Amino acid sequence: MRRMKRQKQKRMMEGEGWSFKPAADDAPAGNSGGERLIKLRMERRRGKPTTVLYEMSGVPDLKEMARSLRQLLSAGGTIKDGTIELQGEHRERLRVYLQERGYQVKG
């Protein structure tokens, strides 16, 4: 019997129309909590890309946000000194996701 080769799953390229539908409790609450700003940057650590979210204002629970972002991206990550570090290059995808949640994203 001849084996069929598995076709590799096509990965989404950056900016190819990601759309995230916010849950009812995750919808932006307006600007009642002040300015909602998050800055992004990408670093190389031991040759591997790391996406860092820093200077986050208007984030109610840093631990909860880190957990939801790790699940969304299927990537590892941690919280260090008030920043969220995620394994891999995810700036474009995070930018779209966070803007739909009502955050202003820089970087």
Q: Could you give the domains of the chain?
A: 35-106 (3.30.780.10)
Per-residue pLDDT tens for 56-98?
988 889 999 999 999 999 999 999 999 999 999 999 999 999 9
**Structure token digits, residue 6:** 């598995």
Q: Fill in the DSSP letter of residue 60.
A: S
Judged by DSSP in three states, 71 sits in helix
On whether the CB atoms of residues 51 and 94 are closer than 8 A, the answer is yes
Where residue 15 falls among pLDDT bands split at 50, 70, 90? Answer: low
Residue with tokens 């001849």, as numbered in its chain: 2
State which amino acid sits at residue 49: P
For residue 14, what are the contacts with CB-CB under 8 A and spacing of at least 6?
A: 92, 93
